[in-house]
C-alpha cells in the first residue's frame, strides 16, 4: 500500500502510472471493507483524471465509487455514478466499457426489484457484446438476464438463458463462472419441478467443485441441494446442506447467501416443530434481510416469524410481523406498479414513435408520388411545348416554301402582258442571263447557268438530281450553288429555302428586263 502511494506522489511518473497506482491503492481499502476510505482516495483519482481530460480513467474511478455504494446497499447512488461513467464512455465511444456499464446498471436495477429496466439495460449490454464478439461480456449479460427472468417467475426463459450463458459464454470448464452457471441451471430445473435433473446437475456441480475448486467459493450449490431435497420432502439432507451453506456464508461474509440459508433452515425447523431453532434462524435472517435491503427476503422471513409468534401466543409480536409483511409487500407492489408505469411509458414512447414513423413514411410516399407526378407533368409539358414549337416551325417553313413556289409560278407567267400574244408566242418567262449578271454584278459560267436553269424548271429538285441532269458530281453542284448564293447575296437566307430564293431572284431580274 505504501509503495503504491509513493508512486502516486512521484510527479516524475506518467499520469497513467500514477492514476493506476492510486486506483490500486483505493481498491486495497475496498477489498478490506473500508468503503469510505476507498471512496475518498478514488475521488482524488477522479479529480486528477478530470483535470487532465482523461475520461476513460474518470470512468474507472466512477465505477469503483459505484461499487462502494453497492457495498452499503445504496443502489440509487450506484445508478447515479454508473450513469456518469456511461456518459464519459459514450463521449469517447468505448463500446466495451459501455457494455460493461450497461450490464452493471442492469444488475443494480435487478437488485432494486425493477426487472423491466434490468432487462432493458442487460439486453442493450448483450447486443453490444455480441457485436464486439466479447464472450465474457456475453456471458455476464446472459446470466444476469436469466436471473431476472427467474425472479420474474418466467422459469422456461430463465433456464434458456442460463443454458445459453454456459454454451455461448466461452467459459473454461470447471472455472468459477462455469460451476456457478451449472448451479444456476440446477436451480432452474428445480423451479420447473424437474427434480431428478436438478439433483443430477447440482451433484455433478458439487463433484466438480470438490475435485478442482474450493467449496467456499460456491455456497450456493449447497443451498441449491438443500432447496431440492426440501422440495422432495427429504428434510434431513435439506437441513444438512443448509447448515453447510450457513457455515460457509458466515466464513466469507456472504450476507444474502447467509440470509437465504437461515430462512430455509427456519422453515424446516418450524415444520419439525423445533420452534426455538426456527425463531433463532428466522430472526437472524430478518435482520440480515433488512441490512441488505432485500424486500423478498424480508417478506419471507417476516411471514415465518408471524407464524412463530402466533404459535407462541404472542399476538403483539405477531401483529408487528403482520405490519412488516404488509409494509414489505406494499413496497413490492409499489415497485411493481412503478415498473408497470415505466413499461407503459416505454410502450407509449414506442407506439408514439411507431405512429410518427408510419406517418412520416406516408408523407414521404406522398411527397415522392407528388414529385414523380410533377416530374412526369413537366416532362409531358416540355414535350408538348417542343412539339408545338417544332410544329409551328414546320408550318412556317412549309408556308414560306409554298409562298416562294407560288411567286415563282407567278413570275413565270407571260412577261409580255402589254402585248397581244399570238398562238406562237411563249406564255412562260425565260431566264435572261445578261439581266441577271447585270443585277448581281458577276459572271455566271456555263455550269452555273446550266444548274440555275435546271432549278428554274424544277425548284424542289435535290442536289443529286441536279448532278445527274448536268453530268456533274454532287460536290461540284454544291460548290456552284454556294458561289451563286454568294453572288446573289443570300448570306442570311435559310438553307432549305436558298434554292427557291435563287429562282425567285433570277426570275425577278429576268422579268424586270422585259
CATH number at residue 459: 1.10.10
Lowest mean per-residue pLDDT among 137-151, 245-259, 414-428: 414-428
Query: What is the per-residue pLDDT across 121-134, written as a single tens digit (0 to 9) for each?
Result: 999 999 999 999 99
222: phi then psi, degrees, rounded to nearest 5: -65, -45
Lowest mean per-residue pLDDT among 154-168, 180-194, 425-439, 451-465: 425-439
Of 146, 197, 192, 203, the residue nearest 169 (C-alpha): 146
Q: Is residue 152 part of a domain?
A: no
Q: Is residue 156 part of a domain?
A: no
Helix (H) or strand (E) holding 511: helix 498-512
| Cα dihedral: 274, 276, 282, 285 (round 10) | -120
Per-residue model confidence (pLDDT) at position 91: 94
Q: Are 35 and 68 in contact (CB under 8 A)?
A: yes
Query: What is the per-residue pLDDT across 290-314, written as a single tens digit (0 to 9) for each?
Result: 887 776 777 777 787 778 777 777 7
CA distance 241 to 203: 12
More confident residue, 361 or 25: 25
Angle between helices 176-191 and 195-212 (to 10 degrees): 160
Q: Are 172 and 208 in contact (CB under 8 A)?
A: no
Q: Is residue 206 part of a domain?
A: no
CA angle, 345 then 117 then 346, to 5°: 20
Of 316, 263, 318, the residue nearest 294 (C-alpha): 263
Q: Is residue 507 part of a domain?
A: yes
C-alpha 73: how far from its chain's center? 35
Say how many domains are in the chain.
1
Q: Kindly state the average pLDDT of the residues 169-174.
A: 84
Q: Is residue 505 part of a domain?
A: yes
Q: Is residue 502 part of a domain?
A: yes
User: Residue 480's domain spans which residues?
Assistant: 433-512
Q: Is residue 489 part of a domain?
A: yes
Query: What is the per-residue pLDDT across 187-238, written as a single tens digit (0 to 9) for each?
Result: 899 989 999 999 999 999 888 888 876 666 677 788 888 889 988 888 888 8
Q: Is residue 483 part of a domain?
A: yes
pLDDT over 50 (residue 417) = no
CA quadruple 73, 76, 80, 86: dihedral positive or negative?
A: positive
Per-residue model confidence (pLDDT) at position 253: 76
Amino acid at each position: 500500500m505504501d509503495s503504491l502511494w509513493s508512486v502516486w506522489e512521484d510527479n516524475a511518473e506518467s499520469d497513467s502510472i500514477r492514476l493506476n497506482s492510486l486506483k490500486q491503492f483505493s481498491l486495497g481499502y475496498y477489498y478490506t471493507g473500508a468503503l469510505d476510505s476507498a471512496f475518498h482516495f478514488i475521488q482524488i483519482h477522479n479529480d486528477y483524471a478530470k483535470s487532465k481530460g482523461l475520461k476513460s480513467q474518470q470512468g474507472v474511478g466512477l465505477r469503483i465509487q459505484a461499487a462502494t455504494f453497492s457495498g452499503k446497499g445504496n443502489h440509487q447512488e450506484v445508478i447515479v455514478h454508473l450513469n456518469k461513467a456511461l456518459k464519459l464512455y459514450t463521449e469517447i465511444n468505448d463500446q466495451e466499457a459501455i457494455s460493461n456499464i450497461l450490464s452493471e446498471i442492469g444488475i443494480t436495477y435487478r437488485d432494486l426489484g425493477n426487472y423491466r429496466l434490468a432487462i432493458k439495460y442487460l439486453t442493450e449490454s448483450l447486443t453490444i457484446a455480441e457485436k464486439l464478439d466479447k464472450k465474457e461480456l456475453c456471458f455476464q449479460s446472459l446470466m444476469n438476464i436469466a436471473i431476472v427472468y427467474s425472479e420474474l417467475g418466467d422459469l422456461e426463459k430463465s433456464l434458456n438463458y442460463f443454458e445459453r450463458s454456459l454454451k455461448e459464454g466461452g467459459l473454461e470448464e470447471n472455472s468459477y463462472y462455469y460451476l456457478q452457471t451449472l448451479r444456476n441451471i440446477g436451480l432452474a430445473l428445480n423451479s420447473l419441478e424437474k427434480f431428478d435433473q436438478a439433483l443430477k446437475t447440482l451433484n455433478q456441480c458439487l463433484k466438480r467443485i470438490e475435485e478442482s475448486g474450493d467449496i467456499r467459493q460456491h455456497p450456493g450449490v449447497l443451498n441449491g441441494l438443500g432447496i431440492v431435497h426440501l422440495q422432495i420432502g427429504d428434510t434431513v439432507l435439506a437441513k444438512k446442506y443448509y447448515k453447510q451453506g450457513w457455515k460457509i456464508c458466515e466464513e466469507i461474509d456472504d450476507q444474502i447467501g447467509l440470509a437465504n440459508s437461515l430462512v430455509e433452515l427456519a422453515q424446516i425447523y418450524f415444520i419439525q416443530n423445533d420452534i426455538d431453532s426456527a425463531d433463532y434462524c428466522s430472526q437472524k435472517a430478518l435482520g440480515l434481510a433488512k441490512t441488505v435491503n432485500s424486500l423478498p427476503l424480508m417478506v419471507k422471513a417476516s411471514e415465518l416469524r408471524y407464524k412463530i409468534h402466533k404459535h407462541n401466543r404472542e399476538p403483539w409480536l405477531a401483529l408487528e410481523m403482520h405490519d412488516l409483511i404488509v409494509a414489505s409487500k406494499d413496497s413490492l407492489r409499489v415497485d411493481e406498479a412503478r415498473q408497470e408505469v415505466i413499461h407503459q411509458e416505454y410502450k407509449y414512447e414506442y407506439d408514439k414513435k411507431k405512429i410518427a414513423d408510419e406517418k412520416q413514411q406516408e408523407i414521404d410516399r406522398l411527397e415522392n408520388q407528388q414529385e414523380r407526378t410533377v416530374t412526369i407533368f413537366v416532362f409531358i409539358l416540355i414535350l408538348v411545348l417542343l412539339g408545338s414549337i417544332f410544329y409551328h416551325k414546320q408550318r412556317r417553313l412549309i408556308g414560306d416554301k409554298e409562298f416562294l413556289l407560288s411567286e415563282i409560278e407567278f413570275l413565270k407567267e407571260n412577261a409580255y402582258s402589254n402585248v397581244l400574244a399570238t398562238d406562237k408566242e411563249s406564255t412562260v418567262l425565260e431566264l435572261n442571263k445578261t439581266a441577271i449578271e447585270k443585277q448581281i454584278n458577276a459572271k455566271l459560267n456555263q455550269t452555273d447557268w446550266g444548274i440555275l436553269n435546271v432549278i428554274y424548271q424544277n425548284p424542289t429538285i435535290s442536289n443529286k438530281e441536279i448532278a445527274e441532269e448536268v453530268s456533274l458530281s454532287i460536290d461540284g453542284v454544291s460548290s456552284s450553288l454556294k458561289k451563286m448564293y454568294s453572288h446573289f447575296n443570300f448570306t442570311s437566307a435559310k438553307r432549305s429555302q436558298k434554292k427557291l430564293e435563287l429562282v425567285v431572284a433570277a426570275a425577278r431580274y429576268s422579268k424586270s428586263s422585259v
